């Protein structure tokens, strides 16, 4: 099958969950024998073409790197026609609204190609996140930001996203929660939605010895390691992990390691100093995936106290795949990964509840049996249901169904 993928951003632009997902899916499909082309925005170094593990990636010069713009959308539509003339595609896959230019020019209809769309969050998620991050009746600037964002998203929803989504032939829900959101927000029927979970590399993210990294970081034998790995922005909630460290240290020797970078890093470092725990909080910056796997294996517990309502963070699945207990905010799609009823494979806490966060950290760090059993259950769940292999197989099934439907319609 010849597949054309549209994504505004890829790992060549910057690290992040969406771009890692697109590349993992594309490489997984290529390994199964499919031809995969990705059309994306320009690179800052001007490079126009690259091949990554069999995936052809086209960077559109003259477009802002990593952004959805008219230049990217309609440049991608032109590039699609150019590539399709040489080697006809069987299916088009839009990551978020990456194929909006294709939709506007009706190229999917002109060439009779199924248009599959995967979202990585919704406008409702963005608004909920903004409310919990900035909004307060006593914070006028936060109120102003929230209402300005509401107007902007309402315009984009009514002008573009509603019609693009309804015009897609099938929409991929990447979590259990997404199905209901898509039906409510876009008035999609069940027949237009398919559920395929995002997957991770369960060979890279697997239990391994981390003693060398522990020694390199000069961590004492009795110290427990708490890990937070995220883009350092306010909505990721890393400040909550720092805020509870004084209470954790009252009970147990521990260190918090923060992997990631972003505009909020300076504020987080200041918070650690203000709380008197700067010596126990270590910022190691953004790391490549292989190094992230080492840090997951180093930790005793992974925390994700995010404020962001969105699809589940792949970092949660990666920590679980390494056999680590996880404590995460019960927001967005996180309950897709963790059994909310039993919490045998991870722990969900209310958004912004630091009392719950410190309580569960101490419970995990104080019980070796619980840590081991939860980690084992987590690893088993991710390996079976959230691997790249499972994701690719699910997407292949959707592609096969849609191409068969289109061929049947042509014959009819």
Q: What average pLDDT is seen over the chain?
A: 90
Residue 316: pLDDT over 60 = yes
**Residues 326/320, Cβ–Cβ less than 8 Å:** yes
Residue 403: pLDDT over 50 = yes
Instruction: Judge if 2-199+388-411 and 211-385 fold alike in CATH terms.
Output: yes
Q: Which of 166, 283, 171, 161 shows the shortest CA–CA distance to 228?
A: 283
Predicted confidence band of residue 276 (pLDDT cuts 50, 70, 90): very high
Residue 137: pLDDT over 50 = no
pLDDT at position 128 is 55
| Structure confidence by residue, pLDDT tens digits, 158-190 | 668 888 999 999 999 988 888 888 888 888 999
Highest mean pLDDT among 192-196, 367-371, 408-412: 192-196
Residue 71 CB: number of other CB atoms within 10 A? Answer: 17
pLDDT at position 354 is 96
Domain 2-199+388-411 bears CATH identifier 3.40.50.2000:
yes
Residue 123: pLDDT over 50 = no
pLDDT at position 369 is 86
Predicted confidence band of residue 151 (pLDDT cuts 50, 70, 90): low
pLDDT at position 117 is 96
pLDDT at position 176 is 81
Across 133-142, 269-278, 397-406, least confident range? 133-142
Distance from C-alpha of 40 to C-alpha of 48, rounded to nearest angstrom:
10
Dihedral (CA of 307, 309, 315, 317) sign? positive
State what percent of residues in the chain have pLDDT above 90: 74
pLDDT at position 181 is 82
pTM of the model: 0.81
Higher pLDDT, 95 or 142: 95
pLDDT at position 154 is 62
Phi, psi of 232 (to 5 degrees): -85, 85
What is the average pLDDT across 375-394? 94
What is the average pLDDT across 299-321? 89
What is the maximal distance between C-alpha atoms in the chain? 73
Q: Which of 282, 279, 272 shows the shortest CA–CA distance to 217?
A: 282
Dihedral (CA of 129, 133, 134, 139) sign? positive
Residue 149: pLDDT over 60 = no
Q: Which of 349, 311, 287, 256 shows the shortest CA–CA distance to 120?
A: 311
Tokens coding 155:
């315009």
The class level of CATH for 211-385 reads: alpha beta
| Structure confidence by residue, pLDDT tens digits, 352-371 | 999 999 999 999 999 888 88
Domain ranges of the chain: 2-199+388-411, 211-385
pLDDT at position 148 is 63
What is the average pLDDT across 287-294? 93
Q: Facing residues of 285 across strands?
A: 259
pLDDT at position 312 is 77
Residue 135: pLDDT over 80 = no
Residue 237: pLDDT over 60 = yes
pLDDT at position 349 is 96
| Structure confidence by residue, pLDDT tens digits, 37-53 | 999 999 999 999 999 99
Residue 127: pLDDT over 50 = no
Tokens coding 354:
């630091």
């Amino acid at each position: 099958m010849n597949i054309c993928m549209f994504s505004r951003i890829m790992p060549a632009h910057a690290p992040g969950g969406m771009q890692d997902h697109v590349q993992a899916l594309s490489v997984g499909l290529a390994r199964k024998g499919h031809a995969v082309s990705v059309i994306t925005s320009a690179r800052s170094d001007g490079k126009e073409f690259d091949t990554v593990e069999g995936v052809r990636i086209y960077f559109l010069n003259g477009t802002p790197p990593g952004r959805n713009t008219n230049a990217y959308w309609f440049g991608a539509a032109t590039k699609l026609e150019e590539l399709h003339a040489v080697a006809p595609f069987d299916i088009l896959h839009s990551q978020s609204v990456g194929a909006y230019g294709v939709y506007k020019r009706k190229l999917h209809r002109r060439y009779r190609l199924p248009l599959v769309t995967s979202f990585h969050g919704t406008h409702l998620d963005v608004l909920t996140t903004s409310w919990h991050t900035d909004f307060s009746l006593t914070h006028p600037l936060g109120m102003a930001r929230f209402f300005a964002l509401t107007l902007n998203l309402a315009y984009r929803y009514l002008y573009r996203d509603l019609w693009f989504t309804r015009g897609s032939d099938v929409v991929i829900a990447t979590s259990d929660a997404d199905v209901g959101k898509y039906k409510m927000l876009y008035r999609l029927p069940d027949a237009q939605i398919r559920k395929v979970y995002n997957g991770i590399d369960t060979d890279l993210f697997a239990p391994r010895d981390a003693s060398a990294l522990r020694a390199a970081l000069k961590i004492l034998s009795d110290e427990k390691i708490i890990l937070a790995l995220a883009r350092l922005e306010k909505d990721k909630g890393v400040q909550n992990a720092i805020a509870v460290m004084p209470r954790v240290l009252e009970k147990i020797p521990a260190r918090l390691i923060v992997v990631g970078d972003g505009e909020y890093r300076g504020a987080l470092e200041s918070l650690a100093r203000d709380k008197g725990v700067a010596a126990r909080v270590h910022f190691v910056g953004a790391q490549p995936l292989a190094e992230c796997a080492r840090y997951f294996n180093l930790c005793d517990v992974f925390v994700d106290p995010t404020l962001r309502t969105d699809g589940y963070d792949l970092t949660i699945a990666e920590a679980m795949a390494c056999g680590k207990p996880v404590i995460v905010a019960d927001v967005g799609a996180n309950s897709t990964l963790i059994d909310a009823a039993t919490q045998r494979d991870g722990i969900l806490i209310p958004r912004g509840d630091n009392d719950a966060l410190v309580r569960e950290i101490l419970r995990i760090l104080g019980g070796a049996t619980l840590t081991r059993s939860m980690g084992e259950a987590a690893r088993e769940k991710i390996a079976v249901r959230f691997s790249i292999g499972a994701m690719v197989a699910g997407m292949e099934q959707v592609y096969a169904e849609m191409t068969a439907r289109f061929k049947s319609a042509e014959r009819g």
